[in-house]
Structure 1
Amino acid sequence: MRKSNRAAAGAAAWQAVQHSARPGAPGLGERAAAIPRMLVSRLRGDYADLSVPRLLVYILAVAYVASPIDLVPELFVPVLGLADDVGVAVWLATGLMGESERFLRWERRDDRVQGHVVG
């Protein structure tokens, strides 16, 4: 990964952390805990704001980071091989944190419509 790409990925991750520090915004723990609920709601068809193509890209990113097969193998170019995994992981985490915040807003709006209170 080029230095400029690493810097951009780091800046995006930092922005997500800073964004979560706003008053009234869900914290990182709350967002992370919402991800399984978001996926279940999406798979049941209740939450349509997470598109199927985006969900597939997230799944592919998880598979890429978890897979022992990389585009740039660590064996040949150790720094670049690790950097591409880190870049994908940062992109994935940043994307999921944004998606989970949108899901939490949707969930709260949906509970208000149905007359429930979300803690």
Structure 2
Amino acid sequence: MMAKTARAAAAWRTYREVTRPGSPKLATRIRAIPRMVRAVVRGDYAGLGKGKLALLGLGVVYLVSPFDVVPDFLALIGVADDFGVLLWLVAALLGESGRYVQHEHQVIEGHLEER
């Protein structure tokens, strides 16, 4: 029951962050994810460490992998662990990509001010 409440709270926080006035919109955040990953790998964006990026990658691997910690045939428990990982992954990616978009805007504004 506690995990269900935590997942609902995480989903609510993500929704509020994405819909906050002045915040990057959902489509902008999604399009920024590949740029963010490249920037982290190149070392151009320190807001997301390579360790957390690797953890996010493991989350993707876990979701697409045919092997599960809790097999899906165990009623709802097997699906619930996948859903929990999916919810965490989406919340983490959308939150971090929003911060990355704001970082990009600050960098662009900084370059414009230098001119």
Q: Choose which of 9, 14, 17 in structure 2 pairs with 1:16.
A: 14
CA RMSD in angstroms comes to 1.3
TM (norm. structure 2) is 0.91
Q: Choose which of 29, 34, 37 in structure 2 pairs with 1:36.
A: 34
- CA distance in 1 between partners of 2:79 and 2:103 (Å): 36
Q: Choose which of 64, 73, 76 in structure 2 pairs with 1:79.
A: 76
If each structure's helix is expressed as a fraction of its own residues, which one has the higher value?
2
My pick for the range that moved more, 55-64 or 23-32, is 23-32
Size of the aligned set, in residue pairs, is: 113
Note the residue ranges of structure 1 that are not aligned, 5 or more in a row.
none
Match of 2:54 in 1: 56
TM (norm. structure 1) is 0.89
Give aligned-pair identity as a percent. Answer: 40
Match of 1:97 in 2: 94
SS in 2 for 1:31: helix
